[in-house]
Amino acid sequence: MRNRFAKILATLGPASRAPDTIRLLHEVGVDAFRLNFSHGSHDDHRSNIETIRRIATASGRPIAIVADMQGPKLRVGELGDGLELRYGDTIRIRETDTASDGEIVHPHGELTAILKPGLVLKFDDGKLQVTMISDSEARVDVPGLLKSRKGINVVNAVLPMSAMTDKDRADMAFALDHGADWIALSFVQNAQDVRDAREIIGEKAGIIVKIEKPSAVDDLDDILHHADAAMVARGDLGVELPLEVVPVVQRRIIRKGRELGKPVIVATHMLESMIDAPTPTRAEASDVATAIYQGADCVMLSAETAVGRHPATAVAIMDRIIAAAEGDPILWEYIHQTELPHKASAEDAVSRSVKTIARTIDAKAVFGYTRTGSTVQRIARERPPCRIIGLTPNDAIAARLALIWGSYPVVTEDPASFEDMLGRIRDLGQAVGLESGDRIIISAGVPFGIPGTTNTLKIDTIP
């Protein structure tokens, strides 16, 4: 088992797609891999999925696969050698598929529909900015050279478009057919985007909503209600929101995810300097630790592992930062003082009791039987100070649980009886490194094998 509770999600790319590199990344700390469908072919992603599954089988440890959809990314059209935007100049913005001298062109009718005076557009990840002064003309606020195909961000406006493009639907069908455990939706604007995705995905995979639009922040509660997890996508979020607001929003998303028992991933620029350098900056190390102190379930590496020069080192350093933060007693004081809302249900009563019992008896692990993964997620929400061994007969659920805080998923058949359950867990405890005399907690539903019946807690000792 890892020497930490929070999980590491790493992006695969040219620097890390070799099977030996993927295996090394898993060995040094990666719990889940992100396949970025903005890049690469279906053949590339198929090969990566097959490699990950082989590594998971060989290691005996399930690995989560996150298929990240590209989403409706707005981009400028062809601008030849580029268009120089000069401060204070008035520039025309026109919808067209062909290049035009002296104009910003784009192919997006959805953008044309909302252009109006006062609307702010940012280009190239916020490096350039204009403010609309009419439906088709804008004033340059932040000058620079605008090149072809650079991204467009619309500040404080809801675009009349779905979070899923035709490409996303094709990519999503491919990912589901090949067993992706999580689907990440890009540029979600409201809860309807999540409901639309659910009609396609159903329960075949968990849905991660990437919070990167101000409108998604405004509709956060409803969005998270319909999603299974969230990602704080700080790249685009930091372009469309004032930079000083992003840390506040990050903390809010983590808090809301914790309340709902849904994992939150903090992403973008975590160890950015390690794309080239063999060590991160001290500020980057603090950024990772801050996410852990705030209660993040998972932290993500993007370009650091996809195209960086030191992918395995980046993972190893992130692993050490997480372990150091989790070794601070102050973190656990904060966790234990945090009051969470609870339902009047047996499941919440059991999961809440697990944390109290684990602290009282210094339990080394809690074993939770689950068919849907919900039992493990409810226990993880409470942050017990011990490992959570998720026991499930479903390979897909086990892989999905690899992304959940503190969880160590194990594929096993449902027990035939209470005595059979105790015997299996005692043997399994020794197999996962527990020692004779270690106290453990067992959470299960009786009768066995029926989803949604978690109603039993048992305190036991490894023989």
Long-range pairs of 328-336 with CB within 8 A, sequence gap ≥ 24: 331/292, 331/293, 332/385, 334/293, 335/295, 335/383, 336/383
Task: Please give the single-letter amino acid code of residue 140.
Answer: V
Whether the CB-CB separation of 458 and 368 falls below 8 Å is answered with no
> Which of 396, 16, 372 is closest to 182 using CA atoms?
396
DSSP line for 357-393: HHHHHT-SEEEEE-SSSHHHHHHHHH--SSEEEEEES
Whether the CB-CB separation of 258 and 283 falls below 8 Å is answered with no
Q: How far is Cα of residue 234 from the mean position of the Cα atoms in its chain? A: 12
Written as six digits, the tokens of 182 are: 């999580």
DSSP line for 319-365: HHHHHHHHT-HHHHHHHHH------SSHHHHHHHHHHHHHHHHT-SE
- Give the Cβ contact number of residue 199 at 10 Å: 7
Q: How far is Cα 201 from Cα 175, in angstroms, rounded to an integer?
A: 10
Contacts of 271 (CB under 8 A, 6+ apart): 280, 284, 288, 301, 304, 314, 317, 318
Size of the chain in residues: 463
What 8-state DSSP symbol labels residue 185? E
Contacts of 361 (CB under 8 A, 6+ apart): 439, 459
Catalytic residue numbers, as ranges? 34, 75, 210, 268
